[in-house]
Amino acid sequence: MELYELTLHELQERLARREVTSEEIVKSIFTRINRVEDKVKSFITLIEESALQRARVIDNGGIYPGIAGIPLGLKDIFCTRGVKTTCGSKILENFVPAYESTASGRLDQQQGVLVGKLNMDEFAMGSSTENSAFFATRNPWDLTRVPGGSSGGSAAAVAADEVPFALGTDTGGSIRQPASYCGVVGMKPTYGRVSRWGVIAFASSLDQVGVFSKDVRDNALVMNIIAGHDPLDSTSAAIEVPDYTSNLDGDVRGLRIAFPKEYFGPGIDAAITKSIKKALQKYEELGAIVEEVSLPHSQYALPAYYLVAPAEASANLARFDGVRYGYRDFEAENVVSMFSRTRAQGFGDEVKRRIMLGTYALSSGYYDAYYLKALKVRRLIANDFAKVFHDFDLIVSPTTPTIAFKLGEQSGDPLTIYMNDILTVPVNMAGLPGMSIPCGFEQGMPIGMQLIGKAFDEATLYKAAYAFEQNTDYHTMKPDLGVK
């Protein structure tokens, strides 16, 4: 087995036993990247020289606590000091941040080794990574299909063994949906669990940082590092972070699992429904209590999300005006024209569409009808979840209605592509933790199971996900990229 194929915890063990050096691991990772990257196209930026240099410094230190010496990737939405951060956009094509995001900074302090920045839909707006201003990433399981999005580069890189783990962000499903499409583990923790400082903002009341990994233990290990309060993000929660690896015991006896009937309705592929039902059976065999419930306002989550998220985005993206950083149009004769031309040339279609939509929903005369209405509906959605969690520990559903679609297949009507988020969006609206783990295959493509937990109860998600993983082998399956 090659080093690049190993999980984070397997690499930790080998480093601790002095069987390998960090430099050997990083070299192995770049060997892999060089072989598969022209097929998968996960990375916008690779920093081989500095990664190797970092690895040698760590090797010289001679000790490997935590993630010391282990390679990682970051979605190109995390500001990285001295490393270009594009957010998948032409407007930030040459942006080199002068500061580091808290989440990536914590990995850096723990001596994780950054190998590169991963492709994404522009400003995290999209479900296929086709909205990247630079190029589309491919699904490692089938290069004619999308990896999902917006954190498609992160999911594809982990699935293709280009990195053992990566960070992403999730505003309406941008971690869970690509994790599902690429057959990897993806966790979006509770809103406020991880600091958003230094993460380029899309919709600030929904955005959350999370982890892509090859298995559940790795995911918990990384969450242990990035979770917790940060004085630089006043919406990060001052709630104690438990050791997420301490409950990985495979015991789900007595765990109360709900499955919402609205998440198994028409529009969800039969093969996916079947696969999730089978997983629920597995949980029952393992001693969990499984019951059907209703989340009656589910159908309203998506339309409400597509008002709230664009509204927040229209405000957040106002900062990209060609003054302080990024692209500028130099032809304009006055400042308003400079703003408008810079933004018109710097943003792609989907970003413009959402800025327009959000601006409209917030504009005088429409605020009550659209934005305020959506916030009221958001309350009803959160209440639905609260009611179920009064009696249950966990909600289980499919992550996505279909398997990964083909590149170009959904590029026409924006509403069609928004439908991919129908099962993940409600979780962001309610601010709850959600996770996707591999639970089956259809036409050779991975299927993901979504686990939804109570606020700040990521530990139960990890526990239940680990139990499923221990009793199945979906997480060990690897795509065949035709190289060895």
Partner 1 sequence: MALTIKEVEHVALLARLSLSEDEKKRFGEQLSSILNYADNLNSLPTDDVEPLTHILTVNNVFRTDDIKPSMDRDEMLANAPQAENSQYKVPKIM
The catalytic residue positions are 75, 150, 174
188 binds partner 1 (CB under 8 A): no
Rounded to a whole number of angstroms, the minimum distance from the CB of residue 418 to partner 1 is 8
* 113 close to 165: Cβ distance less than 8 angstroms: no
45 binds partner 1 (CB under 8 A): no
One of 16, 63, 344, 386 touching partner 1 (CB under 8 A): 344
Rounded to a whole number of angstroms, the minimum distance from the CB of residue 35 to partner 1 is 35
How far apart CA 237 and CA 188 sit, in angstroms, is 15
- Sequence-ordered list of residues with C-beta below 8 angstroms from that of 201, at least 6 positions apart, any chain: 207, 316
202 binds partner 1 (CB under 8 A): no
Rounded to a whole number of angstroms, the minimum distance from the CB of residue 190 to partner 1 is 8
**By CB under 8 A, which span of 125-133, 139-147, 258-266, 292-300 interacts with partner 1?**
292-300
14 binds partner 1 (CB under 8 A): no
Task: Write phi, then psi, for 78 (nearest 5 degrees).
Answer: -85, 125
How far apart CA 417 and CA 427 sit, in angstroms, is 18
Ramachandran quadrant class, 126 (left: phi over 0; alpha: psi -120 to 50; beta: rest): left
- Sequence-ordered list of residues with C-beta below 8 angstroms from that of 314, at least 6 positions apart, any chain: 354, 355, 356, 357, 358, 359, 362
Cβ closer to partner 1: 324 or 390?
324
**By CB under 8 A, which span of 71-79, 101-109, 231-239, 401-409 interacts with partner 1?**
231-239
Q: State the Rg of the chain over Cα.
A: 21
Q: Which of residues 67-96 bind partner 1 (CB under 8 A)?
A: 95-96
**DSSP per-residue string spanning 137-200:** --BTTBTTB---SSSHHHHHHHHTTS-SEEEEEESSSTTHHHHHHHT-EEEE--TTSB--TTBP
As given in the structure block, the two tokens for residue 463 are 């526990």
Rounded to a whole number of angstroms, the minimum distance from the CB of residue 173 to partner 1 is 16
* 434 close to 188: Cβ distance less than 8 angstroms: yes
Rounded to a whole number of angstroms, the minimum distance from the CB of residue 186 to partner 1 is 20
231 binds partner 1 (CB under 8 A): yes
Q: What is the dihedral of CA 6, 11, 13, 19, to 10 degrees?
A: 100
186 binds partner 1 (CB under 8 A): no
378 binds partner 1 (CB under 8 A): yes
Cβ closer to partner 1: 143 or 419?
419
**Interface map 410-429 toward partner 1 (x if CB under 8 A):** ---xxx--------------
Q: Which of residues 441-480 bind partner 1 (CB under 8 A)?
A: 455
Q: What is the dihedral of CA 187, 189, 193, 196, to 10 degrees?
A: 70
Q: What does the chain come to in residues? A: 484
Q: What is the dihedral of CA 196, 171, 468, 478, to 10 degrees?
A: -90
Residue 405 DSSP SS3: coil
373 binds partner 1 (CB under 8 A): yes
123 binds partner 1 (CB under 8 A): no
One of 3, 113, 237, 437 touching partner 1 (CB under 8 A): 237
Cβ closer to partner 1: 213 or 420?
420
**DSSP per-residue string spanning 10-64:** HHHHHHHTTSS-HHHHHHHHHHHHHHHHHHH--EEEE-HHHHHHHHHHHHHH---
Rounded to a whole number of angstroms, the minimum distance from the CB of residue 304 to partner 1 is 6
One of 30, 212, 306, 474 touching partner 1 (CB under 8 A): 306
340 binds partner 1 (CB under 8 A): yes
How far apart CA 484 and CA 405 sit, in angstroms, is 26
Rounded to a whole number of angstroms, the minimum distance from the CB of residue 226 to partner 1 is 18
189 binds partner 1 (CB under 8 A): no
Rounded to a whole number of angstroms, the minimum distance from the CB of residue 389 to partner 1 is 14
Number of residues that bind partner 1 (CB under 8 A): 68
Q: Which residues bind partner 1 (CB under 8 A)?
A: 95-99, 191-192, 205, 231, 234-235, 237, 297, 299-300, 303-304, 306-307, 314, 318, 321-328, 330, 332-341, 343-344, 347, 352-353, 355-357, 359-360, 363, 370, 372-380, 382, 413-415, 430-431, 455
